[in-house]
Structure 1
Amino acid sequence: MREIMEFSFALNSDRETHVHQEVEILYLLRGTAQILINEESYMLKKGDYILVNANKRHSIKNLEVTTLFARFVIDYSMMTEYLGTNQLLFWCNTVSDKDEAYHSLRLIFDRILTLYFEDEQEEQFRLRSLFYEVIYLLVSHFMIKTDDIRVQKLGFTNDTRVFEIQNYIQANYQKQLSLNELAKKLYLTPAYLSKYIRKQFGLSFMDYLNNVRLFHALDELLYTDKKVTRIAIDNGFPATASFNKAFKDCFELTPSEYRRKYSGKSAPKEGRTGSLSEMEIKDIKKFLEKTREAPEVSHGKQTELFTVHGDKWEPLKRTWSQVINIGEAALLLRSDVQEHIKILKEELGFSQVRIWNIVSLIIYQNAQGYLNYNKLDRIIDFLTENGISPFIELGFKPKIVIKAADEFLINQESEILFHSLGEYEHVLGELAAHMVNRYGLETVETWYFELWHDNRLKIESEDGWYFPIFDAGYSVLKRISKKIKVGGAGIVLGYESHLYEEVFSIWKKRAIWPDFLSVYSYGYVMIPQEGILYGKKSLDSQYTLNQLDVLKQTLYQLGFDVRQVFVSEWSFTISNRNVLNDSCWKAAYLLKSCIDAEGKIDLLACWHGTDLISEHYDTEAVLNGDSGLLTKEGICKPAFYAFRFLSRMQPHLLGRNSHAMVTANGRGNYGIVCHNYKKLTYQYATKEEDKLELEQMESYYEDNLSLRLQFRIDGAEDGQYLVKSHYINQNNGSVQDLWKEMGYQKSLSGEEMMYMKQLGNPHMEMQRVTVKGGVLELEAVLMPHEIRLLEIKYQY
């Protein structure tokens, strides 16, 4: 029976550079090894694994004499049949990347290896199911479809020609191909193309072509009754003799001998273990002992118990409740934007708003050195009068409204108003002095200033303008006060990881370092493959934390030690037209992310406060898929209530887990926030954000299971407690689901809008609980995507 995946063990086996059609995963069980894929080198330690794509030159060098690999080989042709494309790439590499799916894959690999040594009759069925779980995770989290993915070229010598060659041969291997024919198609000389193919693939043109033909012929040899002559002709060999010779050179058997030996047989166990001794098999079993205690990969829990002790606590840091993004400073001149900011301050507790393009508001006349701050003063006056501090981006950010990751409704660059470094220093110095004189030094010292890396400033170049401009702004502000905080550079996590080493190697050599490093997080990764960057959406629910770890590891290796890292723009999507932004799922995502980030991230600034930031010709409906917490009419979305619930937490953190956080005030009151977040699926990842359909939303989530949460607080005072339960779900308080009941009508009357405002609120229930023996026990059953706040007050 044809299997989509097979595995074997490889002991102490160096491999010279070679190429094969299969997708191969090398999982290091013992020792250390170096894997070279094309020109990239990766050092694997015990427990690491790496995927080698089809047709990629690679070699293995064992750095210890006792190395042991588990080798998983995936049938590429079956994959292409299932997925309907032969343009497949994967990026799966625990050495260079971090994603929660790596842990899930490792558990499955370990389970496969464990089952192998168990003599159960049902072993083969379970193994096959695990093989398909591996494929599902690879496709969902690590696949790049090269025929439709967004591509950005790097400045390397390799280019898309490699893929053109592979794709052309894959599409035409059954025909009589020649080097001259392919060279003509690529507008190259045969001599140049011959050298190019040998350099890129490590094989001659004919050897590579025969390798592809043999890969397809092998399936027919094993799994069909075709005659050898027919198999040879159908797969492009001009004659049976040439097929026999190529086959024997590769497999050391003729096609007929190979068929007799292997047809209809699965690989025997001794074939998988190779020359492993009993001692080595014992070592493998010892390595896998941990998997017996590890849980099976689960696709949904229905019941979860969470126990905390009332006397064991630490301060709740609330780094997610400090800053909210608003947008261009000029927006704050509008009364509707000001009203939304007041709501965000009063009801959610945000104490700072992040704004940019403030210099564009200054009326500046260079010739006379004249500066007029009237517009900017009105904005800062409004903020300070309402107890809000500005978080000021000093650069010139573009005005953008984004449909999908590479599609813009608006994309307007902001003009850089200064023509020299001296001019910039002068204006910024005058502005800083004006702000201190107007608002007081102690007030300005509580503000934050940031400079993002505008592409026009070329941060990746030592000769670029970013670092001189940053140094100038930093120095001007520090002359006012050393306490003023200045940071940069707005590096996008995951998506700009290819810049990390280059940028921070340059910055490390400079005299001025930022007070805080600012980064953006939008749930996308950029994957380098042979000189090309492929962008894709990430399904990692721990994306921000994992990508921060990757960044911090690079900083550590470079010795670039910054005290704080601020995520100054944070969302799961860059799109202003993504229906999930209006959903209960977004609320659960925000609540989960804030719980996960508590104590691990210095600052987490939500992108963004209001849908007014992205008004355009297509925003006549009440909901348009923007990232704001408030609709343009001021209706609170489910995401708004995620921060409302968090703002009601008590000051002492008793504990948190994957679904909940428990807090207390030390005087008999407790607060619990919890959620039933669902991971996104492959169906979500493969759709452009603006093409997501409201009626198809259930297909974007991993399951539709409810979640039963049981809470136990030990050390509670005996007596009566009043428990108020506030919750938002698809049946209660979700403005998106209310709109669904109205048939998604675009034009709503004032009365209908008021109806949505009134019903778009959390549902509330109350109960009394009696505590005896110092144990407070509660239970909550959450619908999919539901968020819930439990306020527990001792009754005297």
Structure 2
Amino acid sequence: MIKPIHQYQIAISSIHEKQQERFFGTKIIFVIKGAATIWMDAQQLDLQTDDLLVVNRGVDHTISGSKDSQVIVLKIVGNFFLSKYPQYFQFNFECFSREIDFGKEKAIEELRRYLAEMVIAELSNHENFKLEIESNLYQVMLLLTRFFKKPIVNQIENEVPDERILKVIQEIEANYYEPLTLNEMAQKVYFSPSYLSRYFKKGTGVGFVQFVNQVRLRHSIEDLIYSDMEINQVALQNGFSSGKNFSHCFKEYYHVTPTDYRLKNQVTRKNDDNLEDQESSPLELTEVLLLLANYCDNFEQSSHATSNSVANLSIDVERESAAKELPYASYIVFIGELKELLKKHVQQQVKQAKTDFRITYIGVKNLLSENTILTTIETDEIVPSYSPYDSADLVLDFIYQENLSLFVYLSYHEMEENQGDYLLKLKAFIAHAIQRYGREFVNRWRFMYYHKEWDNTVAKHHEMYYLNVVALLKGMVPSVKIGTFLPFSDKTETIPASQQWQITKQHEIDFIAFHANQNEGIDFEQTNEVIFNTAQNYLIKKTSSFKKFLASHHMKQPITLIDWNTLTGETRFTNGTFFRGALIMQAIFDLSYEVEGLGFWINTESHEKNQHSQSINIEGMELFHFFNGKRPVYHALAFKERLKGTLIGQGVNYLLTENCDGYQLVLINCNPFNPRLSVEDFFIQRRRKEYYVQIKGLKEGIYQVKRLKFDREHGALYSKYGEFNSQYGVDHEMMDYILRNSEPVLSVGDEEIASQWSFYEYLDFNAIHFIELKKVSKE
């Protein structure tokens, strides 16, 4: 069933087959890709990309498009247009972009823009999308009435603007195939039949019966052209009393008999070609949105409907809830295999990260790999000059000197071939580490028994392997912490059958680790912002659901989130263009209240090498890109760790702390939306926010104020890469420039604060503004 249109309808589709329609209102057809052909008023109009055509009310027309066509169609219902423009029925609109008068090019461009913005708003479904659509709709109607109207001469629809006549016309259009009488219509509008007859003719220029016959004749055209019905059947189906009456009226109006008209115009249709049931093909929405953006970018400065107003942000320190401690979590930085730390640049990255924020553990996988622990070589020496642990010792020396600890993956799949042999190697390595570095150092290590998610391994194998590892390690280092990875589905709130043993053996488990990836289950073809807004809190929701599951089984172990991610692009390009600093900082801050540990990868190289795949890995957070470039994760984590003192204020878009030196204010502009759209500035301009910030309750005095701005233009690594328009790599000079300019921007000033401090702050999408107020001591 076709959904009725009450005021307007905006849609975009790919039209592969012919579609015939008659619409009692104004219809605009706009081709944004491919080509389309329109048949109407006995002529064929060929539309190419960028072409725009207005079809007037009641005009029979047929449209078809090329296979790659993408066509916007806006329908404005007649009585809705009439309610806004009383002269609507006195005019038609002549608007075909290929045949416009000189001087109307600008109006055509504006029509294209408004139509494109309407579709973007409709697809995005953001908070104000209906207001945007209707604002643009009125602009479209205004352009039509100002630049493209043409008076109707001797047409039956030259009505006066009267709602009662309009009601009669709508009744006729809706029920033309039924017997219609003047008496019946007069009752509907509370007129006498004689008065309605005079009133109707005055308003339309024709009598009631003549009008009804002409509406029926227009509808009969479709049956004559597209059906094989007998003439008598066509007559009866369209409301005529007989074939004779139909033929008489038809010849009088069209100057040709129905039979001759059919012979000249009939279209042969395929047996299964049902025009009424055809649907437009689905489109790649992100591709469409990028095409639409081309029509909007040139008018960015003149678009006032989508500009953002200033939002008030009021903070009253005295009215904020009681102060609380800042959240704390241990940070695990994964490097892959232990040998990665033999690389000088990886050591530099670890040192730099340790300087800017706390690192507790270095996470490693494949601990006993021959890439790190070398093969034992036979020797006749009494005291061997060679050790299989020489390479491993170089790495452990670095970890020991930096006062870090190991977080070791113990994978089931490393043990399954020969666990006995694996345990012997593990025992020898631990014994060597204790001998070289001391028991206190090894006691700080953590071991996690890991397996692939939701595999079909028999539960008793996992249980046996884990308990054997516990017995070995606890026997050598009694206080060492040993935990497990627990696959958990937040959708079903269950764990695999093969992992149920963790519930019964929970007393043997010191900590529990899990994964959470916000991008799981997201369809990047979607443009509905509700979907992405809902996904924004995915990490906290899954963590809470996981903790609830553990509590239901009386499992009170601390939890560690080892692999996780916020919303990001699924390709390297969209991953780079979609700036997400605020999303990351908010996630780190919130998660630090819920988990004991958070995992990060040291750099993109190590992360992708561990994945063994050619595609981008979006299942973890990387601190560095290639060549020591800091990724947004790095800066977001550094900002979080820069916070000190106690939290005295918190809202959706701010954090406020107080410490012995003064205050720290963090402003964020979190904007989760489809990362594919971040490549066009049009889609992000309305996501920027300007705040008028007012803070009451700060201690009076003079403060030195530092402002650190971090957004896609100030500190984002990828935007700096984009400044070099060369496909042939970067040299040292270019790389040094990128690294120097990929830092948050710092500005400093002085402020004297009395009863209140107020200022304006403009934030780009997902930006972080970190403001420190350091009180100046009196001499």
Q: Which residue of 2 aligns with 1:202?
A: none
Q: Is the 8 A contact 1:576 1:614 kept in 2?
A: no
Q: Which residue of 1 aligns with 2:543?
A: 548
Cα distance in 1 for residues equivalent to 2:727 and 2:677: 15
1:576-655 correspondence runs (5 A) = 577-583=571-577, 585-614=579-608, 628-655=622-649
Q: Which residue of 2 aligns with 1:705?
A: 688
1:199-598 correspondence runs (5 A) = 302-309=311-318, 312-319=322-329, 322-360=331-369, 361-363=372-374, 372-395=388-411, 416=414, 419-454=417-452, 458=456, 461-463=458-460, 465-489=461-485, 491=487, 494=490, 500=495, 502=497, 505-510=500-505, 512-525=507-520, 540-557=535-552, 559-572=553-566, 577-583=571-577, 585-598=579-592
Q: Which residue of 2 aligns with 1:754?
A: 736
Q: Which residue of 1 aligns with 2:671?
A: 678
Q: Is the 8 A contact 2:310 2:692 kept in 1?
A: no
TM-score normalized by the length of structure 1? 0.52
Measured after TM superposition, the shift of residue 633 of structure 1 is: 0.7
Q: Is the 8 A contact 1:722 1:793 kept in 2?
A: yes
Counterpart amino acid of residue 505 in structure 1:
Q
Cα distance in 2 for residues equivalent to 1:383 and 1:680: 40
Cα distance in 2 for residues equivalent to 1:5 and 1:793: 61
Cα distance in 1 for residues equivalent to 2:5 and 2:418: 61
Cα distance in 2 for residues equivalent to 1:626 and 1:746: 29
TM-score normalized by the length of structure 2? 0.53
3-state DSSP class of the match of 1:381?
helix
Tell me: CA distance 1:447–1:575, structure 2 relative to 1, closer, same or farther (3 Å): farther
Measured after TM superposition, the shift of residue 485 of structure 1 is: 1.5
3-state DSSP class of the match of 1:585?
coil
Q: Is the 8 A contact 1:583 1:638 kept in 2?
A: no
Cα distance in 2 for residues equivalent to 1:449 and 1:300: 53
Tell me: CA distance 1:762–1:452, structure 2 relative to 1, closer, same or farther (3 Å): same
Cα distance in 2 for residues equivalent to 1:636 and 1:648: 17
Measured after TM superposition, the shift of residue 364 of structure 1 is: 5.6
Cα distance in 2 for residues equivalent to 1:738 and 1:435: 44
3-state DSSP class of the match of 1:521?
strand
Q: Is the 8 A contact 1:611 1:631 kept in 2?
A: yes
| Residue of 637, 651, 658 corresponding to 1:657 | 651
Tell me: CA distance 1:503–1:541, structure 2 relative to 1, closer, same or farther (3 Å): farther
Q: Highest CA radius of gyration, 1 or 2?
A: 2
Cα distance in 2 for residues equivalent to 1:439 and 1:325: 22
Q: Is the 8 A contact 2:324 2:648 kept in 1?
A: yes
Tell me: CA distance 1:651–1:440, structure 2 relative to 1, closer, same or farther (3 Å): farther
Q: Is the 8 A contact 1:654 1:662 kept in 2?
A: yes
More displaced 10-residue stretch of structure 1: 717-726 or 738-747: 738-747
Q: Deviations over 1:97-150 (max 9, x none)?
A: xxxxxxxxxxxxxxxxxxxxxxxx9xxxxxxx9xx9999599x9xxxxxxxxxx
Counterpart amino acid of residue 390 in structure 2:
N
Measured after TM superposition, the shift of residue 419 of structure 1 is: 3.4
Does 2:766 correspond to 1:770?
Answer: no
1:63-78 correspondence runs (5 A) = none
Q: Is the 8 A contact 1:723 1:766 kept in 2?
A: yes
Count of aligned pairs between the two proteins = 479
Counterpart amino acid of residue 510 in structure 1:
K
Cα distance in 2 for residues equivalent to 1:504 and 1:626: 23
Q: Which residue of 2 aligns with 1:50?
A: none
Structure 2: runs of 5+ lacking an equivalent: 7-66, 68-82, 84-117, 130-218, 230-307, 380-385, 523-530
3-state DSSP class of the match of 2:548?
helix
What is the RMSD of the two structures over their aligned residues, measured on CA atoms? 4.8
Measured after TM superposition, the shift of residue 724 of structure 1 is: 0.1
Cα distance in 1 for residues equivalent to 2:488 and 2:454: 16
1:688-727 correspondence runs (5 A) = 695-696=679-680, 699=683, 703-708=686-691, 710=693, 712=695, 714=697, 716-727=698-709
3-state DSSP class of the match of 2:487?
strand
Cα distance in 2 for residues equivalent to 1:597 and 1:624: 19
Q: Deviations over 1:576-623 (max 9, x none)?
A: 853354356232221121233242333222345444543699999xx9
Cα distance in 1 for residues equivalent to 2:309 and 2:361: 37
Counterpart amino acid of residue 651 in structure 2:
N
Q: Is the 8 A contact 2:486 2:513 kept in 1?
A: yes
Q: Is the 8 A contact 1:730 1:737 kept in 2?
A: yes
Counterpart amino acid of residue 332 in structure 1:
L
Structure 1: runs of 5+ lacking an equivalent: 7-83, 85-120, 122-128, 141-223, 234-298, 397-414, 528-535, 685-691
The alignment-based identity, stated in percent, is 17
Q: Is the 8 A contact 2:601 2:620 kept in 1?
A: no
Cα distance in 2 for residues equivalent to 1:745 and 1:625: 28
Tell me: CA distance 1:472–1:580, structure 2 relative to 1, closer, same or farther (3 Å): farther
